[in-house]
Structure 1
Amino acid sequence: MNKSLYGKKKKLPFSINTMITGILFLAFLGCILYGFNDVSSSAKEQQLQIAQKAVERAAVQCYAIEGRYPPDLSYLESHYGIILDTDHFLYHYERFGSNLMPEIKVFELEQGE
């Protein structure tokens, strides 16, 4: 009763199969998390751009109606109905003159600031 080695299938030990499955799962999970991070980063960038464009549009509207740029952001809030999200963004508004476009920048606040 000599058994041939060619007739038997070699099976990997259970621990190696488990390790391969675990590695594939972790790689898949890593790809998903990277994708979520990329989408989140892109969404934050879009929010910054939208916030900045809203302030710029309100300033230009003020100039078109009144013939001068607003003195500060609170003027835009009270007279043009713009709502500033100061919980998430830091707004920089610097006016150089009543007839010159002000410097407007919006920055994201870090969590906990």
Structure 2
Amino acid sequence: MNRFHKERKKHSLAGRLFVPLLSFAAVMLFLWVGIRDASDAASAEQEKSLKNAIQRSVVHCYAVEGSYPPSLEYLKDHYGLTYDGDRYLVDYRIFGSNMMPDITVIPLQ
């Protein structure tokens, strides 16, 4: 027998695939967490953007007409406000024609 030649151990298929499969699973988990976090951040930014758009429309209406809009439908009809009603619930509470309304945006999903 050659003393420089070593017998190789025979590994099973599962043993040879364990490290690559574990690495693949770790990469997929990392990507999934990253995509989920990016999606959550985008949803929060959309909610903030919708609230700002409504407030800008309300202030614009007050500047043009001298009173705050009586309803959210008024803003949609006269000032071109649009949003996805399936994704967001907008609570618009008016206290008077000369007082800034309370605007709450609630994500539905």
CA RMSD between the two structures: 1.8
Distance 1:107 1:12, change over 3 A: farther
The answer for the alignment partner of 1:104 in structure 2 is 103
Instruction: Name the TM-score, length of structure 1 as normaliser.
Output: 0.84
* Aligned mates of 1:12, 1:87 — CA distance in 2: 59
* Aligned mates of 1:58, 1:96 — CA distance in 2: 17
Shift of 1:45: 0.9
Instruction: Name the TM-score, length of structure 2 as normaliser.
Output: 0.87
Runs (4+) of structure 1 exceeding 3 A deviation are 9-12
The answer for the alignment partner of 1:66 in structure 2 is 65
Q: Residue 45 in 1 paired to residue 55 in 2? A: no
Deviations 1:56-92 (A, max 9, x none): 1000001111111111101111111211321211101
The answer for the alignment partner of 1:84 in structure 2 is 83
* Aligned mates of 2:87, 2:62 — CA distance in 1: 27
Unaligned runs of 5+ in 2: none
Q: Percent identity over the alignment?
A: 37
* Aligned mates of 1:79, 1:63 — CA distance in 2: 13
Shift of 1:11: 5.2
Unaligned runs of 5+ in 1: none
Length, aligned pairs only:
108
Q: Secondary structure at the match of 1:91?
A: strand
Q: Secondary structure at the match of 2:96?
A: coil
